[in-house]
A and B are shown apart, each in its own frame.
Chain A
């Protein structure tokens, strides 16, 4: 049969002992430059021909439905304002996307079809101007417009403030500026639909990868080992997304690739590439949305979000190779199951006193770890954004901040600093890895905490410790601007 020739069936060599049970692998080629899913199954299970046909149809249907420009597609109909009920999976996807939209103040959104059209028209207009490639004419083909940052921001804004109502029977009411577009998350939806199909067909152990997303499902919590840039990462019953936005064109299709690099930010419509992202979530869709958010927003913003949601874990790497991870990232992605100290790390709690004065401003706070020679090991927290005031954290400024502020590229301050938050205590979980992801378990270390407040005082405390020597919590009482500092091993009873 013709179908059989479409399906490439390959046997993968066992990668490691823990994955040796997985052997049978199926690739489903997608057309039109879409990403092809690869399914890997246990060596003792296989997909029959009917199942393969079904999966292939599923993949096609997903890409087809999500193609906004396809007049027979369901998303096209929705964007035209037709009130036909949506298939469950699509209705749910849009609903979930809207939840992210509200959670992130519109920084992750599926409403931005008009914005992507603007980028498409701009990119096509630009390449026709150069006159090298024959480009098929696009509807409403406009003359080349210069890229206007205000216009893209306006498009993002009108979509953001529009109203959306989810109605019964899988219909959605929304106002005109919105053009639903889920193309950035199409791979995730392909994975989810395949996973649902496999689960309903009785498969309990499988691995699906599309693009840079991979989902692993195991009934016995077997950990799937993956390698990202040489680092081993293990996970189970979750989806891992990996995004490197720096070299990614802001817009690309079969015909053109924009020169602008980065992901188009859903809040201001402009390409942005702050971080390389490794995101872990219980569903593929969440992993894809989280990776978009993490790549385009300041580290503190996305890490705060992730730390408040137990199902998510996040690792960010800035352009200088500096690593930021969410509290649970190390333990969630540990390669072996045993919870040794290696993945445990320590907890640091800093309490700040409240001053009962009229014009109380939240203090500037820096928490960092150095080795015993005063070399920076890890920046843990930085509250306050003004360089003028950050320099009031004098010790930190001399050792760390000054060098960082002088860098032209995205510096620690740009990527990591966040708002002052009154006297909210700091609770920091540190995984025991330095700024570049290397372990420093057995080294003598010094914790530094420095606090400075506008119209207030300045306090600085040091605490010497070693991670593997931290059997008892260390507590230090501070003075003035620092109430107390507590270090404890993660996992130890409090």
Chain B
């Protein structure tokens, strides 16, 4: 069995290798977990190459709406759009749920209202955390803050399968994101005053009825606004990227993607994460070397509106 696997893999590798890879064109998810969750049809948390190929074939067939054996651009994009909508909806739900929890975490005195004092108390500690060199400002080039203490679940040694969220909000948990969000005068330095001013403005904007307090509803609705703006951005970016990907994968540029062309991105992803090269993608595979390509979009925060 193992030999068969190896043989299949070699054969497919040759096929894959025959098609010149224009950069990395992984349509498959960008993590081992994601690939296993997407294609491990028997849910045994281990994905042999054969199962992967079968699952990709099934997906190819399902995408091929007119059944002509090849995918045209619209079929390819349409399929991805459907997948994406589902994942964004799930991520949105999880994100909103988390926002309710965050509300109660900020509401220190449990009175179901967040006051500016409570917001400032949280701000105080997060500014202090980001200001690792304790010079009173957070500037580009400052050292990154120490990672937060690992939670219990991280301490559990067994890694679990987890789809990376497609919807990722701008973060203020690294220096670059923090500076992008809070630097007002464009000098790449965030002073305490700037930081407080931005947070206060955000508080006022969130406080619909201007009573100086945020209810859970006000808090969550404000976040949903930013969340939906980010969804729109993610969505548009993904669609654009899908067209680009089609162009790259359609190497003979006949606007028809064959299964072999389709599998180029699949093999690239599989091989990248099957780091021990046994033809099985599992969580036991050590993580691959990070690509030192363009910055991940999430680490670059965008000031919201």
Residues of A within 8 A of B101 (CB): 385-386
In the complex, what's the smallest C-beta–C-beta distance from B93 to chain A, in angstroms?
A: 9
Q: Does A222 contact B (CB under 8 A)?
A: no
Residues of A within 8 A of B100 (CB): 385
Q: Does B224 contact A (CB under 8 A)?
A: yes
In the complex, what's the smallest C-beta–C-beta distance from A490 to chain B, in angstroms?
A: 29
Give residues 68-112 of A contacting B (CB, 8 Å): 105-107
Residues of B within 8 A of A268 (CB): 221, 224
Dominant secondary structure of chain A at its interface with chain B = loop
Contact B104 A153 (CB under 8 A): no
Q: Does A229 contact B (CB under 8 A)?
A: no
Contact B225 A150 (CB under 8 A): yes
Contact A267 B228 (CB under 8 A): no
Known A-B contacts A149-B228, A153-B221, A268-B221; the reply to A419 vs B104 at CB < 8 A is: yes
Give residues 157-197 of A contacting B (CB, 8 Å): 157, 160-161
Residues of A within 8 A of B225 (CB): 150, 153
Contact with B208, one of A150, A157, A422 (Cβ below 8 angstroms): A157
Q: Does B62 contact A (CB under 8 A)?
A: no
Identity of the chain B residue whose Cβ is nearest the Cβ of A104 in the assembled complex: B217
A114, B216: Cα distance in complex, Å: 25
In the complex, what's the smallest C-beta–C-beta distance from A330 to chain B, in angstroms?
A: 29
Known A-B contacts A161-B209, A385-B104; the reply to A267 vs B110 at CB < 8 A is: no
Identity of the chain A residue whose Cβ is nearest the Cβ of B152 in the assembled complex: A388
Give residues 388-421 of A contacting B (CB, 8 Å): 388, 414, 419-421
A359, B108: Cα distance in complex, Å: 8
Give residues 179-230 of B contacting A (CB, 8 Å): 208-209, 215-217, 221, 224-225, 228-229
Q: Does B112 contact A (CB under 8 A)?
A: yes
Contact B104 A420 (CB under 8 A): yes
Q: Does A362 contact B (CB under 8 A)?
A: yes
Dominant secondary structure of chain B at its interface with chain A = helix
Q: Does A244 contact B (CB under 8 A)?
A: no
Give residues 408-467 of A contacting B (CB, 8 Å): 414, 419-422
Q: Does A361 contact B (CB under 8 A)?
A: yes
Residues of A within 8 A of B215 (CB): 105
Identity of the chain A residue whose Cβ is nearest the Cβ of B112 in the assembled complex: A419
Identity of the chain B residue whose Cβ is nearest the Cβ of A417 in the assembled complex: B100
Identity of the chain B residue whose Cβ is nearest the Cβ of A151 in the assembled complex: B228
Contact A362 B228 (CB under 8 A): no
A267, B218: Cα distance in complex, Å: 10
Contact A150 B229 (CB under 8 A): yes
Residues of A within 8 A of B221 (CB): 153, 157, 267-268
Contact B228 A150 (CB under 8 A): yes
Residues of B within 8 A of A420 (CB): 104, 110
Residues of B within 8 A of A414 (CB): 97
A268, B221: Cα distance in complex, Å: 7
In the complex, what's the smallest C-beta–C-beta distance from A261 to chain B, in angstroms?
A: 14
In the complex, what's the smallest C-beta–C-beta distance from A407 to chain B, in angstroms?
A: 13
Give a binary string over B40-74; 1 marks a CB under 8 Å from any A CB, 0 the rest: 00000000000000000000000000000000000
Give a binary string over B158-180; 1 marks a CB under 8 Å from any A CB, 0 the rest: 00000000000000000000000
Identity of the chain A residue whose Cβ is nearest the Cβ of B102 in the assembled complex: A386
5 closest Cβ pairs, A-B complex: A386-B101, A362-B110, A150-B228, A149-B228, A422-B110
Apart from the given pairs A268-B221, A386-B104, A420-B110, 4 other A-B contacts in the complex at a CB distance below 8 Å: A157-B208, A385-B101, A414-B97, A419-B112
9 contacts between A and B (CB under 8 A): A105-B215, A107-B217, A267-B221, A359-B108, A385-B100, A385-B101, A388-B151, A419-B216, A420-B110
**Chain A residues within 8 Å of B, Cβ to Cβ:** 105-107, 148-150, 153, 157, 160-161, 267-268, 359, 361-362, 385-386, 388, 414, 419-422
